[in-house]
Structure 1
Amino acid sequence: MTPNAASASSAPSRRDSPSRRSFLASTAVAAAAVAGGMPLLTACGSSDSGTGGGSSGGKGEKKLLPSYVASNVVVPDIPSKNGSPIGFTGKLDLATLKTSVPKKLGKGGKVTIMSPFWGSPPKSDNDYYKTMNDMIGVDVVWQNQDGNTYDQKLGAVLASSDVPDVVVVPSWNMGGKIPTAIISKFADLGPYLSGEAVKDYPNLAAIPTDAWQRCIIGGKLRGLPMPSSYVTSMVPLYRKDIFDKEGYQVPRSADEFMSLAKEITNAKAKRWACLDMKWTAFQMFGVLSGSEKALGWNLVDGKLINRIETQEYLEALEWARKLFAAGYVHPDAMMGKSAPDPGPKFAAGEFLIYPNNISQWWGRTAEQAVQNPQFKIWGMDIFGHDGGDPRLWAEQPAGIFAFINKKASQSVIRDALAVANVTAAPYGTKEYMATNYGVQGADYTVKNGVPVKTTQGNNEVMNAYVMVASPAPTIAHPDFPDVAKAQVEWQQRMGAFTKKSSFYGQMITEPSRYTNLGDNFETLEDDITRGRKKISDMQQAVSDWKSRGGDKLRDWYKKLLDENGTAAG
């Protein structure tokens, strides 16, 4: 099982190939994701002549943050290091589960919650909902909406006068007028959570401070976060069993990878080295993150530089293009986003390497455990293109948020926070098991220390309560503890090479006139890597981007940075 979906943060806007959004839908567990949008706020005087835009960062806003109090209810087997999740590698013993909420904080009121949902919502009187509500002491009434069309529903609801008590908003849905609506429609939680006040809710106090930073919108603490590790979760996954059998060595440079790809590839035998390695190329050449618009900017020698303006960006695309041109990439990858699920052909050994979310390390392992016991997927450490250490860039530390209606009474706000305090319970507690697995016997059973959902559990215990708030990023797989250990240790190693760019940790939306400025770059990237366009076409596109507003956008970001400072440490 994968609490917090292996805790990753990225944006559908630039990560659709290994899409975090589709990952969220397929696993029904939240991973954080962020995308740019329209007017957000005018924090610290950062308005731009009425055209919107702004930042959650502000020099005076640290006082709005909840005091951090680490949880000591459960001690992880692997502590967090270098921004990694915490890890658990032991079996579960239900008899020894801890209690993190010793008394009900809910006062028995009703709280309506609207949230995106992937799948068929269960009946409202199911055992899972009833048990959770009893544990919390709140009558939660779910208004689940189709996650695939959630932005449309969200816009309509926030434009109306009938807003639920709690509304979950993934950052990728914060486009259009949504950020402005967040400021006008949702409550300031500062009186309940800022500073020492958060200690009334110990599980919320144990959420890392960086995640709370993302909840400051419009100069107020407005959201409840789903925290995630800021370390990259995009892993070059490979078939370790075949590598070991054939004697292949894990590469440590761009040239070594190319040589290995040549050694592996035999098109006549239906074996290719890899899928599209663009995301790994960006990592090994040190390209700034493309997962959120603001993360693509960084201050270098007093000037803000965008990722698309760097030499590293062009070099990464050229290297990825060469893989395609040499015939080392599986033909399916030519189809781009319309390519089939890579799982079956990866399992069949048609290709041996592909970059994807770290959650697939466990997911593919579990998928093949019975039918293909020799199968072993593992993650390559990211290397610098020249064989040296990599230079990696931090992702955002939270990307899904729950907001409470500004019109809600104090008792409703307290009840909503009581819900969040239970759903943010750490792994190894009764509250965590109830939130993530439901009712023992009805929704799940435990076999050899491994919780297994029943048919009822698979139908009912889906992405509901986990969307309100979550514990610190956590990875735990009692069924494959070696994978959990490897995942955490991989992020610890990569975290040692991770830097935070200038707008890390801030919730930023650009003025509306810039919203679509970079829309065509991902398509152009893919056209270049597949040989349909040239590097010179990208250079021309960057030049056009500058003249169409990129340079003015740079000035806007620089002013924001000068006024608000940086949250990057």
Structure 2
Amino acid sequence: MNTLHIDPRITRRNLLRGGLGLGAFAVLGLAGCSNEGRGGGALATNASVALPTYIPFDGIPLDLKGTNGVSDTMLAYPANPKALTDGPPGDGQDIRALAMTNTSIPPSVDRNEFWQALNERLGCSFAVSQVLAGDFTDRFQTAVAGDQLPDLFTILSGQVPGLPGLLAERATDLTDLLSGDAVAKYPFLANIPTESWKSTVHGGKIYGIPIPRGPVSSQVTYARQDLLEAQGITAQVSSLDDFHALCKELTSSSGRWALGQVPRPYLRQMYEVPNGWTEAGGKLVSANEHEGQEAALEAGRRLVADGLVHPDAFSVEQPQRKTWLVNGTITLLDDTFSAWSDFSNFPISEEFRLAVVPPPLAEGGGTANIWLAGATHNITSISAKSADRAEALLGVLNYLAAPFGSAEHLFKNYGIEGVHHELKGTDPVLNDKGRSELQLSLKYLAEGPWVNFLAGSPDVAQAQYDAQTATVPTAVRNPTEGLFSETGSRRGPQIGETLMSVETDIIAGRKPVSAWGPAVQAWKRGGGDKIRDELQKALAERES
């Protein structure tokens, strides 16, 4: 099999419980809303903002330096990590935060040694209210409506209507504190690449810090390589027919299915469907209108009709699918490059190994290109009510963004040696207590640049690097990344969900594939064409 080892994540509200990843939202036109606030009349104003100066941290040598978008990689954790800060950050006052999570909720602070140790290091009580990713948008809107946003809050790209106005009213303007060389006061935030900061600029002001991800948020399809080898399966996945045949071979009557969900982005990539939008002759065209859509939907429908997809695929969240992959109930699952580390929170066996299965062109003759994710996963803003504490809160976020290999990073990600992790050589390997207590969503509040690494498994880190090297440099970008459509922010989710409902009905066999065309026309009339026009204007302004 033409595969490479690696990693998975993602869920927004399950909506129709179809388990779509972010790549699918791009196809449905919602990606035009991502990295909000940089389109329309505000674009020129945004362009005048001096983004934070990029000051890369180079104090810790890297084993494998990424190029052409590939993430840096470490095969072993540095020995005896040194502290890069001196004393607690912040002002000693309590901090409240609202953040998403893709994992189970950890024990409360009174039963959580890591949380207690975090409070001690921060010199305050750090209260994090966590919400499952699928429910986060609703919870965020409720907090906004009730004027209950805490000191720090995360914002997911493309899911907040009227975001520029909301931030102007509810978030602290951080421009003077972070613009240009001012960011040097917060060296770990200055270590975040410039491209990611673009998503924090709205209405000509900086309203948060970015969580940089970029290529590692791109979706791929994984296989349980150890299970394939145990069955002696060496089939080449060189076309859609080969993939379908592989799924049949991996499905048995003894309670094992090939797939945990229909790999919709993967199938679309086989048919070279664009990443959200494509630009042709100076005009934007939605990927919803691409000629390969119906063929990809038919391929998904066949997988379901032939019983190759778990029967509960449409009714569960992604963490459950990961559990199926771990226990061998399924063999294939699509998720993101960055999600490999999530499996360290599962009771996996020593034999457990994943492989990335690159998408072939549907008719054969080569490998299709994956879709490149945006540079930023989410942003973290400071409440306008906490504006007088902005510098102190930025100090805390700076602490949480400490670079890989530092003592601060080691604690944030692995807790206390002998309590939450044990050393395997120089690598901190989480134990059950660590896997449970560390899930505080800190990585969604502040994070430095992504580094491929899995404690105790240098082969996996190497495989991550190899898989990204093979796929990321040729990955397809969304030309509207960084642009804003007001219609997209307000109407996009509604019309996108309606279109997704039709898509799910087609794949589940409740509607014919021919229902897609009329549904796309309804999407266009309902706001899709207006979204295109707004993005087209923003694109022209950006390029002028």
TM-score, normalised relative to structure 1: 0.79
Q: Secondary structure at 1:225's aligned position in 2?
A: strand
Q: Percent identity?
A: 24
Q: Secondary structure at 1:392's aligned position in 2?
A: coil
Structure 1 partner of 2:152: 166
The amino acid across from 2:470 in the alignment is R
1:534 to 512, 519, 529: 512
Q: Indicate yes or no: 2:319 matched with 1:320.
A: no
The amino acid across from 1:473 in the alignment is W
What are structure 1's unaligned runs of at least 5 residues? 22-33, 47-56, 290-295
Q: Is the 8 A contact 2:415 2:421 kept in 1?
A: yes
- In 2, Cα distance between the equivalents of 1:189 and 1:253? 50
- In 1, Cα distance between the equivalents of 2:344 and 2:442? 27
Structure 1 residues 464 and 323, CA gap change in structure 2 (3 angstroms): closer
Deviation string 1:162-199 (CA, Å, 9 cap, x unpaired) is: 65333333336x43466532221212212111111111
Q: Indicate yes or no: 2:172 matched with 1:187.
A: yes
- In 2, Cα distance between the equivalents of 1:457 and 1:397? 29
Deviation string 1:39-72 (CA, Å, 9 cap, x unpaired) is: 97586625xxxxxxxxxx5475264311112110
Deviation string 1:312-344 (CA, Å, 9 cap, x unpaired) is: 22222222233344x2614x2475234893456
Structure 2 partner of 1:493: 470
Deviation string 1:52-97 (CA, Å, 9 cap, x unpaired) is: xxxxx5475264311112110222222223323222211553xx21
Q: Secondary structure at 2:315's aligned position in 1?
A: helix
Q: Is the 8 A contact 2:172 2:381 kept in 1?
A: yes
Deviation string 1:235-286 (CA, Å, 9 cap, x unpaired) is: 2222323434524223122233234445x16755666544523231022222
Structure 1 residues 224 and 345, CA gap change in structure 2 (3 angstroms): closer
How many pairs does the alignment contain?
A: 523
Deviation string 1:79-123 (CA, Å, 9 cap, x unpaired) is: 223323222211553xx213333x358363425232136525623
Structure 2 partner of 1:398: 376
Q: Secondary structure at 1:355's aligned position in 2?
A: strand
Greater CA deviation, 316-325 or 348-357?
A: 348-357
Structure 1 residues 417 and 6, CA gap change in structure 2 (3 angstroms): farther
Structure 1 residues 230 and 351, CA gap change in structure 2 (3 angstroms): closer
The amino acid across from 1:298 in the alignment is T
2:140 to 131, 154, 157: 154
The amino acid across from 1:72 in the alignment is D
Q: Secondary structure at 2:237's aligned position in 1?
A: coil
The amino acid across from 1:523 in the alignment is S
The amino acid across from 1:311 in the alignment is E
Greater CA deviation, 239-248 or 496-505?
A: 239-248
The amino acid across from 2:490 in the alignment is S
Q: Indicate yes or no: 2:339 matched with 1:353.
A: no
Q: Is the 8 A contact 2:76 2:427 kept in 1?
A: no
Q: Indicate yes or no: 2:41 matched with 1:45.
A: yes
The amino acid across from 1:482 in the alignment is D
Q: Secondary structure at 2:55's aligned position in 1?
A: coil
Structure 2 partner of 1:87: 73
TM-score, normalised relative to structure 2: 0.83
2:55 to 64, 69, 72: 69
Q: Indicate yes or no: 2:97 matched with 1:114.
A: yes
Q: Is the 8 A contact 1:128 1:460 kept in 2?
A: yes
Q: Is the 8 A contact 2:100 2:154 kept in 1?
A: no
Q: Is the 8 A contact 2:14 2:317 kept in 1?
A: no
Q: Indicate yes or no: 2:509 matched with 1:523.
A: no
Structure 2 partner of 1:52: none
- In 2, Cα distance between the equivalents of 1:159 and 1:269? 50
Q: Is the 8 A contact 1:13 1:35 kept in 2?
A: no
1:502, distance to aligned residue in structure 2 (A): 1.8
1:457, distance to aligned residue in structure 2 (A): 4.2
How does 1:87-486 map onto structure 2 within 5 Å? 87-91=73-77, 93=79, 96-101=80-85, 103-104=86-87, 106=89, 108-116=91-99, 119-120=105-106, 122-123=108-109, 128-129=114-115, 131-132=117-118, 135-136=121-122, 139-147=124-132, 150-159=136-145, 163-171=149-157, 174-176=159-161, 180-230=165-215, 233-244=218-229, 245-262=231-248, 264=249, 267=252, 273-275=258-260, 276-289=262-275, 296-325=276-305, 327=306, 329-330=308-309, 332-333=310-311, 335-338=313-316, 341-342=320-321, 346=325, 351-358=330-337, 361=340, 367=346, 369-370=348-349, 373-385=350-362, 386-408=364-386, 412-453=389-430, 457-458=434-435, 460-486=437-463
Structure 2 partner of 1:504: 481
Q: Secondary structure at 1:533's aligned position in 2?
A: coil
Q: Is the 8 A contact 2:278 2:285 kept in 1?
A: yes
- In 1, Cα distance between the equivalents of 2:21 and 2:396? 26
Deviation string 1:480-537 (CA, Å, 9 cap, x unpaired) is: 2212221232122211211322211346552635551222222322322333222211
1:539, distance to aligned residue in structure 2 (A): 1.1
Q: Indicate yes or no: 2:540 matched with 1:556.
A: no
- In 2, Cα distance between the equivalents of 1:512 and 1:505? 17
